């Protein structure tokens, strides 16, 4: 699969979720041009829209939650 593929890539990268004055770490499990699957700590509460910074790239993406299940959240980029 080349880097221009629209399919998600399985990764294990660190991300930073920010909303309001809050920030929390997450693990990016998969990512594509359209969205990502994120793993959170069990007690993390995040809103339906937030900013995701991909570390170490520094790419900032605006996200909307598509679904939530236990500690995993799927988001769409906009």
**Which pTM does this prediction carry?**
0.83
With respect to residue 3, please indicate whether it lies within any of the assigned structural domains: no
Closest CA to 71 of 45, 49, 35, 36: 45
Tally of structural domains, the chain: 1
Element (H, E) at 65: strand 59-69
With respect to residue 41, please indicate whether it lies within any of the assigned structural domains: yes
With respect to residue 13, please indicate whether it lies within any of the assigned structural domains: yes
Q: What is the pLDDT of residue 8?
A: 61
With respect to residue 17, please indicate whether it lies within any of the assigned structural domains: yes
Q: Which domain holds residue 13?
A: 9-77
Q: Is there a contact between 26 and 38 (Cβ–Cβ < 8 Å)?
A: yes
List pLDDT tens digits, range 19-72: 999 999 999 999 999 999 999 987 788 999 999 999 988 999 999 999 999 899
Dist. CA 26–CA 23, nearest whole Å: 10
With respect to residue 1, please indicate whether it lies within any of the assigned structural domains: no
Domain harbouring 68, CATH code: 2.40.10.220
């Amino acid at each position: 699969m080349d880097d221009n593929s629209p399919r998600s890539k399985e990764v294990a990268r660190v991300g930073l979720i920010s909303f309001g004055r809050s920030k929390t770490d997450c693990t990016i499990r998969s990512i594509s041009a359209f969205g990502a699957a994120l793993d959170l700590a069990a007690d993390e509460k995040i809103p339906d829209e937030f900013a995701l910074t991909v570390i170490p790239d520094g790419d900032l993406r605006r996200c909307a939650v598509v679904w939530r299940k236990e500690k995993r959240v799927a988001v769409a980029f906009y």
